Amino acid sequence: MTVSPRLTDIPVLSGCFHCGLPLPDGAHYPVRFEERTQQACCRGCQAVAQTIIDSGQGAYYTHRTALPATPQQAEADLAQLGLYDLPEIQESFVRTETENIREAALILENIVCAACIWLNERHIAGLSGVLSVEINYATRRARVRWDNSRIRCRPS
């Protein structure tokens, strides 16, 4: 059995434990993970990392193979999500099962990290109104079922 290396096996990370950006001089934002103290670049990354770990999702850091995109790119991507609530857009990838039950079949691009898939799958499955979610790393496909009366594609 081959054991793959884990991010936490690296003796010293040169950047922020959460986002990978360089650590500012004098920054001291510790994150406790697997009995080791890691450093974050700011209070935001410290809070997010510790929340991920404390909520039982720490395997994200164990399994990730790439660092997250920049915050600016994430904000730009979120701004465009409202388009996916439009019926004329949804008709190409969403199937209506009943009046409120929808199922989307998606092709995911730029997925390079199995840990990110695992974390996203767990997060989406925990949203009120999501009935099921399956993300396949190998095929880069996702299937999500939800109650459209309880949740929409774009966060409110």
Is 0.75 topped by the overall pTM? no
Quick one: pLDDT band at residue 100, thresholds 50, 70, 90? very high
Quick one: pLDDT band at residue 91, thresholds 50, 70, 90? confident
Is 3.30.70.100 the CATH classification of the domain at 71-147? yes
Specify the pLDDT at position 38. 93
| Domain spans of the chain, in order of start | 7-63, 71-147
**CA dist., res. 94 & res. 42, Å (int):** 39
**CA dist., res. 65 & res. 9, Å (int):** 13
Q: Convert the pLDDT of each residue in 109-127 to its tens digit.
A: 777 677 778 888 888 898 8
